Structure 1
């Protein structure tokens, strides 16, 4: 039970009595101790019980009134005796005391959370004002920890390095420098390469590296139209259109112009990682992504305007839109590709526009390849409606 508050009688000034003030003190409810009392020595000869009433603004106002009469009831410092063992309550600096101990100025102690701050935080949560927690980033390499060939310890560094160096293997717009070759002829060549690649069941990365070498060579060397196929052919594949010496001379010319710099990050390097991050990664998703990537590989504008990592990420995004995967883009994909959803829109829409006209296009290597049931016939899927250009 809280003890009754005892207020020492103060000397009267001007003969007036402070009846109202004392009555107010007696009638106020006693609050619980909140630890803001200061234990001071009592006045000699007048031992006092400690005042246990907490500090409040209204209680402090009894000592510091709004009128001159109330102010006069507080004795001046020079007229009062030096207190000993008296409970003194300071009405001025409530924050300076904690558990009856005065805190030093400049104290580094952090203030406790107030009831107001707690209620405010809860109100924001109830109203949905606070930010929702981001989706967790899935560890896509967890299943490969025991696979030494997966190089899980270095995989992030490898892809970060590929991202930093991918521009070294890119080409600028070179068609204006070619007198006999245009973008349509290049598309015919790449379409033919896709057909040959499928027929001979070559490794997937061979196709992307071949197209990269062709583009890089054409960007530094003017090639006659009759020799364009020679840039990427063997004797048997070209139906004996060239002799052995011509093939060897062209290979030597290509390697010399490219300074033997063949190990470059192609879109395929990023496709593998992006598909792995597109959970769940099934065969349908994988084939749809490669379908969009090869459509982009065939078109000159895509290769020139978008770097390999963006082409790969856009192919994954276009595939997820076409297959109605939800969500269309995740924090895991953003983390591993390095691209947000809005950054991929332009390239993804371009890839979907190629899908819209692939059935009527004269160059049908990609369409035929991915219309096969072995590749889930993804070319026959209707294009993503949300990405179809208006």
Structure 2
């Protein structure tokens, strides 16, 4: 526990009267905003330069690792955990990770940890939620600056488990996965393909942003559907973007050849995603920005 700054409990700091000091000066405020914009711009330029130099190599490297981190039938050895139970757990984790303010990357990694652990170890039905909370903790420790506390996670589980149980399961999961948590995720590939799209001649940044938002929503919903565990994350990302472009009727869609997949593979995955979207149309407004939802006329009028 961190003590108060002056070391005295209940100490009341003296309030000083201040005039309109330098921090209220309009000129300084304008200069600060300009410096912040320049810093952001410089950071963006650096990221773009790094992507242009290493983006393709990084993509191929991550794609080559997919088979190592992807169990195709994680429930094959599970006597108590079903596809329906998995769907309920991940459907619970989706709003939880949003409420806590964590990234889509953290959610994707959470699902990957769950599936890989299920592929190695039978899990009792009454411990399945604890596995979800433990996987979220491990994923956030991997990719977030401020992972949730054990107390937070236990509260989300209505304190049905103890801190000792969660910590013990954390050790078991790490051991079973060989302490290897750096899985390639659909979040990484969505970002990569979007950057590739923006680098193409005549790219429409508005269409790229809208397609990316819709594809993120579609991919998020697909995480809860056991049927999509058979698809590599890179294929799922490409198909999600391809479907988003079709649904939004974009004039400059992503050239799906950049994914390296055959048309037949992309069409098959896109068809299953389209069916998933049709069955979950009511859930999309919960995961999409309002400005993108307004452009999804197919939700009201049909495709």
> When the two structures are superposed, what TM-score results if normalisation uses the length of structure 1?
0.55
1:177 correspondence with 2:77: yes
Of 208, 211, 221 in structure 1, the residue corresponding to residue 108 of structure 2 is: 208
1:293 correspondence with 2:209: no
Provide the C-alpha distance between the structure 2 equivalents of 1:378 and 1:213, rounded to a whole number of angstroms. Answer: 35
Asked whether the equivalents of residues 271 and 312 of structure 1 are also in contact (C-alpha less than 8 Å), the reply is yes
**Rg larger for:** 1
Aligned residue in 2 for 1:309: 234
- 1:154 is paired with a residue whose SS is helix
Aligned residue in 2 for 1:358: 280
Residue deviations 1:323-377 (CA, integer Å, cap 9, x gap): 11135552xx422x223444311101111101111146xxx4x55222x52x622
Instruction: Output aligned runs, 1:43-192, within 5 Å.
Output: 146-147=45-46, 151-152=50-51, 153-192=53-92
Aligned residue in 1 for 2:7: none
With 252-261 and 196-205 compared, the bigger mean Cα shift is at 196-205
Task: Label 1:148 to 1:240 Cα distance change in 2 as closer, same or farther (>3 A).
Answer: same
1:368 correspondence with 2:286: yes
Aligned residue in 1 for 2:265: 343
Aligned residue in 2 for 1:267: 186
Provide the C-alpha distance between the structure 1 equivalents of 2:292 and 2:61, rounded to a whole number of angstroms. Answer: 33
By how many angstroms is 1:384 displaced? 12
By how many angstroms is 1:150 displaced? 5.6
Provide the C-alpha distance between the structure 2 equivalents of 1:253 and 1:367, rounded to a whole number of angstroms. Answer: 37
Asked whether the equivalents of residues 288 and 379 of structure 1 are also in contact (C-alpha less than 8 Å), the reply is no
Residue deviations 1:69-94 (CA, integer Å, cap 9, x gap): xxxxxxxxxxxxxxxxxxxxxxxxxx
Task: Label 1:307 to 1:384 Cα distance change in 2 as closer, same or farther (>3 A).
Answer: farther
Asked whether the equivalents of residues 187 and 300 of structure 1 are also in contact (C-alpha less than 8 Å), the reply is yes
Provide the C-alpha distance between the structure 2 equivalents of 1:149 and 1:277, rounded to a whole number of angstroms. Answer: 11
Asked whether the equivalents of residues 247 and 296 of structure 2 are also in contact (C-alpha less than 8 Å), the reply is no
Asked whether the equivalents of residues 171 and 215 of structure 1 are also in contact (C-alpha less than 8 Å), the reply is yes
- 2:156 is paired with a residue whose SS is coil
Task: Label 1:250 to 1:145 Cα distance change in 2 as closer, same or farther (>3 A).
Answer: closer
Aligned residue in 2 for 1:334: 257
1:322 correspondence with 2:247: yes
Provide the C-alpha distance between the structure 2 equivalents of 1:287 and 1:165, rounded to a whole number of angstroms. Answer: 26
Task: Label 1:146 to 1:256 Cα distance change in 2 as closer, same or farther (>3 A).
Answer: same
Aligned residue in 2 for 1:280: 204
Asked whether the equivalents of residues 220 and 257 of structure 1 are also in contact (C-alpha less than 8 Å), the reply is yes
Asked whether the equivalents of residues 317 and 328 of structure 1 are also in contact (C-alpha less than 8 Å), the reply is yes
Provide the C-alpha distance between the structure 2 equivalents of 1:324 and 1:274, rounded to a whole number of angstroms. Answer: 18
By relative contact order (CA 8 Å, sep 6+), the higher-ranking structure is: 2
Asked whether the equivalents of residues 81 and 125 of structure 2 are also in contact (C-alpha less than 8 Å), the reply is yes
Aligned residue in 2 for 1:56: none
Residue deviations 1:220-258 (CA, integer Å, cap 9, x gap): 010001100001212122121111000101101110100
The two structures, once aligned, show a CA RMSD in angstroms of 2.7
Instruction: Identify unmatched segments of 5+ residues in structure 2.
Output: 1-41, 134-152, 198-202
> When the two structures are superposed, what TM-score results if normalisation uses the length of structure 2?
0.70
By how many angstroms is 1:281 displaced? 3.9
Provide the C-alpha distance between the structure 1 equivalents of 2:294 and 2:178, rounded to a whole number of angstroms. Answer: 39
By how many angstroms is 1:294 displaced? 1.1
Task: Label 1:329 to 1:253 Cα distance change in 2 as closer, same or farther (>3 A).
Answer: same
